[in-house]
Amino acid sequence: MANPATRPHYITEICNNVTMERKTNEMAMDTTTRTELEAAAFRRLVEHLRERTDVQNIDLMNLAGFCRNCLSNWLKDAADASGVSMSKDESRQAIYGMPYDEWKAKYQREATPAQLEAMKKAHPGH
């Protein structure tokens, strides 16, 4: 890259404008906006998982290393860290959209031998 002192004035001006634009864009994403966007993405993920009742938690664990229960635990952890009262049952209902026992009765199937074997490989010791 050329020394800024030796490059033509218009190149320096373009570089300065690009740098300033980057800084402006970074500043536009304030903490509140970022939190709102992350919350919207989280709500969309939860809604997607509620719609995809065909996808079993064991499959999520085997493929992605987390499941609906993990999300509910993370939600409860966040509530606890913020001093918000939330029980395990409340956090699970927030993720599942219904009481956990009801979801299990409606949608959870018995794990197949292949799913259990994959779980042993993906998470040894559990």
The pLDDT tens digits for 51-108 are 999 999 999 999 999 999 999 999 999 999 999 999 999 999 999 999 999 999 999 9
Count Cβ atoms below 10 Å from residue 73 Cβ, excluding itself. 16
Q: Average pLDDT of 26-43?
A: 89
Distance of CA 19 to the CA centre of its chain: 30
Instruction: Reply yes or no on whether the pLDDT at 7 is more than 90.
Output: no
Assess contact for 55 and 49: CB atoms under 8 A.
Answer: yes
For residue 96, give the nearest of 40, 52, 66, 37 by alpha carbon.
Answer: 52
CA dihedral angle for residue 23, residue 43, residue 75, residue 32, rounded to 10 degrees: 30
Q: Which comes out higher in pLDDT, residue 121 or 20? A: 121
DSSP 35-47: HHHHHHHHHHHHH
Report the C-alpha gap between 26 and 48 in whole angstroms: 30
Q: Average pLDDT of 3-11?
A: 59
